[in-house]
Amino acid sequence: MASIRAPFRALSRASLLLNSRRSWTCSTCRYGSPKVLRRGLATPTAPSPGKLEKPYYVTTPIFYVNAAPHVGHLYTMVIADILKRWQVLLGNTDAQLLTGTDEHGMKIQQAALEAGMDTQAFCDMNCRTFEALSKAANLNNDHFIRTTDPEHRDAVQYFWQMLKHRGYIYTSKHEGWYSVSDETFYPQTQVQNSLDPATGRKRMVSIETGKEVEWSSETNYHFRLSAFQDRLLELYKRPDSFITPSKYATSVIQSVSAGLQDLSISRPSERLTWGIPVPGDNTQTIYVWLDALVNYLTRAGYPFPPGQENNSMWPANVHVVGKDIVRFHCVYWPAFLMALDLPLPRNVLVHGHWTMNREKMSKSTGNVVNPFFAIDRFGVDGMRFFLAYQGGLGDDSDYDNSFIVRDYKKWLQGGIGNLASRTIGCSKGKLRSHIEDAMTDKLPAPTPEDVGLQEMLASAPPRVAEHMTGLNPRAALQEIMSIIEKTQKYFHATEPWKNPNPQRILFNVAESLRISAILLQPFMPAKSQELLELLRVDTSNPAKRTFSATVYGSDPDYGEGIKIGHLFPPLLAEN
């Protein structure tokens, strides 16, 4: 352990950068010229002259490749993708989405050994499965990062060197309960006795995750996490909510207020070889969570050249994470960044888990949902809709195939699809002429039903935008589907097939479909495009499919040559 005790030679920021093995590329070359973001809603406006806004940056966690992906991974991907696509809908076309895989740590090392495979080959195989899922889910990600990428290794080692240079890393003997599954130590207050339900064996488990822990004693490097307790508590009091939903902030505040212990951030390489070596000390491997969290910086171009820290897309606007990794993203990660005076992510969006029969999905109980099978069976947009509509942010959500069939029939097939077919059928192929007539002064005065629907269509898009600004895609989607539901009631109440002057009614219903289709693009990219094409919304003018086009009556040019289509055909298997 002599190398651990050896004094650390102080290095300047510039010399550390020059010693890094990666070749740096400026953010302009890497991502293209930055664009001025339009920040408004119905009428976007540019920032003040001469000021360039960074790209909107949203991330998923990087997924552990020790096992195949499940529906929870798919849900996280979909929520992050919706947030990115929403920004594009607002006109922020340089918004960035990052996803990828976490490929280091003891779980990977053990899983590869059990599979009888070379560890890198094991990672390559399972990484391809997650990449395939991102494509199957129609994820609009701009990059897929792997912690085995050379540029990430160099970013992590530079990050480590800077932490040590600033005096935040020291060596010490560490004893505690260690979970291989969670890749973390737990204090005595966070573990409890439990019985293995499969074998009846007594064991110690983490109270938080239920994963088995074992007593471990080793000498390794530590990060002075305790030094950041007050600054973290100030962060959680921020008026714009660092953690969303607030229920998760409450538990984090309670935990941090109770006191923070310094964090073990390396493992002896005799126990853990599969990871990034501590710079200058090959007897120690960097803690997998320190390694993994830096991936968000790696993609943003870290290490930043001196004086250029503010010219990248960092900080992240939103980290989307499951509730089981809140502590890592809301305690450890901001503390690491504070130690280096780097900007903090603007928000961490936390979501609940998917359960089956109200029980947590687990490989051992055989109730894990294969996301590829689900997409094949219900369609990618059918799955995206169900997960976004029913998925819980503050609470867990129960998964069942019958629930997907129910929502598909009610909201998609019987909702959007039925309304589109009936509107087109009632117009007898002349929707365009009805739209033109409705925009003249020749029709009778609007009825109270007409006025009510028009007011609803005018107010709904801003409400959807408000939910999305609050990072609540579920509420936003429910608001959109409320448009469809209210329009169906209006359609039945006004009976345009009996009305001698149905133009205004058909125009109002067509506007409901057009506006809903635009708003649905982040949620159901393919089906919303099909609906817009069915309505003959101009494809040559992209502005007619952005948020600014959701203003009632703002597009007078659609509906020409329209024909009935089948947006949501019957499912092949409905049970």
Evaluate whether residue 148 is within a structural domain. yes
As a 3-state breakdown, the chain gives helix, strand, coil percent values, each rounded to 5, of 45, 15, 40
Query: Is residue 341 domain-shared with residue 467, that is, in the same domain?
Result: no
- Extract the tokens encoding 27: 């953010």
Phi, psi of 98 (to 5 degrees): -115, 130
Query: Is residue 347 domain-shared with residue 408, that is, in the same domain?
Result: no
Determine the straight-line distance between the first and last CA of the chain, rounded to whole angstroms: 61
User: Which among 151, 439, 155, 142 is positioned nearest to 279, based on CA atoms?
Assistant: 155
Query: Is residue 435 domain-shared with residue 544, that is, in the same domain?
Result: yes
Evaluate whether residue 164 is within a structural domain. yes
Answer yes or no: are the C-beta atoms of 17 and 11 closer than 8 Å: no
Split at pLDDT 50, 70, 90, the class of 25 is: very low
pLDDT 10s digits, 377-405? 999 999 999 999 999 898 999 999 999 99
Residues 6+ apart with CB under 8 A from 33: none
For residue 183, what pLDDT is reported? 62
The DSSP annotation for 339-373 comes to HTTPPPPS-EEEE--EEETTEE--TTTT----HHH
Tell me the residue range of the domain where 139 lies. Answer: 18-43+53-351
What number is the average pLDDT over the span 175-191? Answer: 70
pLDDT 10s digits, 262-271? 999 999 998 8
Evaluate whether residue 391 is within a structural domain. no
Threshold 0.75, pTM exceeds? yes
What residues does 397 pair with on adjacent strands? Answer: 354
Cα distance between residue 568 and residue 575, in whole Å = 17
Split at pLDDT 50, 70, 90, the class of 413 is: very high
Query: Is residue 456 domain-shared with residue 342, that is, in the same domain?
Result: no
Query: Is residue 429 domain-shared with residue 305, that is, in the same domain?
Result: no
Query: Is residue 100 domain-shared with residue 176, that is, in the same domain?
Result: yes
Split at pLDDT 50, 70, 90, the class of 28 is: very low
Sort 440 into a burial class: Cβ within 10 Å, 0-12 / 13-18 / 19+. exposed
Residues 6+ apart with CB under 8 A from 430: none
For residue 354, what pLDDT is reported? 95
For residue 466, what pLDDT is reported? 98
Evaluate whether residue 359 is within a structural domain. no
Question: Does residue 30 have a pLDDT over 50?
Answer: no
Angstrom distances, CA of residue 375 to CA of 70, 74, 97, 387, 404: 12, 10, 21, 11, 11
For residue 206, what pLDDT is reported? 77
Q: Which DSSP symbol is given to 217?
A: E
Query: Is residue 335 domain-shared with residue 440, that is, in the same domain?
Result: no
Report the side by side order of strands in the sheet with 359-360.
359-360, 354-356, 397-398
For residue 265, what pLDDT is reported? 96
Return the H-helix or E-strand segment holding 205.
strand 202-206
Answer yes or no: are the C-beta atoms of 58 and 96 closer than 8 Å: yes
Sort 293 into a burial class: Cβ within 10 Å, 0-12 / 13-18 / 19+. buried
Evaluate whether residue 193 is within a structural domain. yes
**How many structural domains is the chain composed of?**
2
CATH of the domain at 194: 3.40.50.620
Angstrom distances, CA of residue 535 to CA of 88, 225, 403: 22, 57, 29
Query: Is residue 144 domain-shared with residue 268, that is, in the same domain?
Result: yes
Q: Is the dihedral of CA 419, 420, 422, 423 positive or negative?
A: positive
pLDDT 10s digits, 499-544? 999 999 999 999 999 999 999 999 999 999 999 999 999 989 999 9
For residue 227, what pLDDT is reported? 98
pLDDT 10s digits, 42-65? 333 333 333 347 999 999 999 999
Split at pLDDT 50, 70, 90, the class of 182 is: low
CATH of the domain at 464: 1.10.730.10
What number is the average pLDDT over the span 483-505? Answer: 95
Query: Is residue 180 domain-shared with residue 290, that is, in the same domain?
Result: yes
> Helices 503-519 and 418-427 sit at what angle, rounded to 10 degrees?
150
Provide the CB-side half-sphere exposure for 196 (13 A, CA). 11
Answer yes or no: are the C-beta atoms of 138 and 521 closer than 8 Å: no
Answer yes or no: are the C-beta atoms of 78 and 374 closer than 8 Å: no
Q: Among 200-204, 352-356, 450-454, 483-487, which is the least confidently predicted range?
A: 200-204
Split at pLDDT 50, 70, 90, the class of 292 is: very high
pLDDT 10s digits, 366-376? 778 999 999 99
Which of 351, 384, 418 is the last residue before a domain boundary? 351
User: Which among 386, 309, 377 is positioned nearest to 354, based on CA atoms?
Assistant: 386
Answer yes or no: are the C-beta atoms of 344 and 334 closer than 8 Å: yes
Q: Residue for token digits 């269509």?
A: 457
Query: Is residue 325 domain-shared with residue 434, that is, in the same domain?
Result: no
As a whole-number percent, the residues of the chain with pLDDT over 90 amount to 72
Neighbour count for residue 445 (Cβ, 10 Å): 7
Distance, CA of 113 to chain centre: 32
Mean pLDDT is highest, among 1-15, 44-58, 164-178, 381-395, for 381-395
Answer yes or no: are the C-beta atoms of 63 and 322 closer than 8 Å: no
User: Which among 407, 416, 474, 363 is positioned nearest to 79, based on CA atoms?
Assistant: 474
Evaluate whether residue 507 is within a structural domain. yes
Query: Is residue 347 domain-shared with residue 452, that is, in the same domain?
Result: no
Query: Is residue 296 domain-shared with residue 439, that is, in the same domain?
Result: no
Cα distance between residue 487 and residue 372, in whole Å = 34
Rounded mean pLDDT of the chain?
87
Question: Does residue 365 have a pLDDT over 80?
Answer: no
Evaluate whether residue 575 is within a structural domain. no
For residue 346, what pLDDT is reported? 97
For residue 311, what pLDDT is reported? 82
Q: Which DSSP symbol is given to 212?
A: B
Evaluate whether residue 118 is within a structural domain. yes
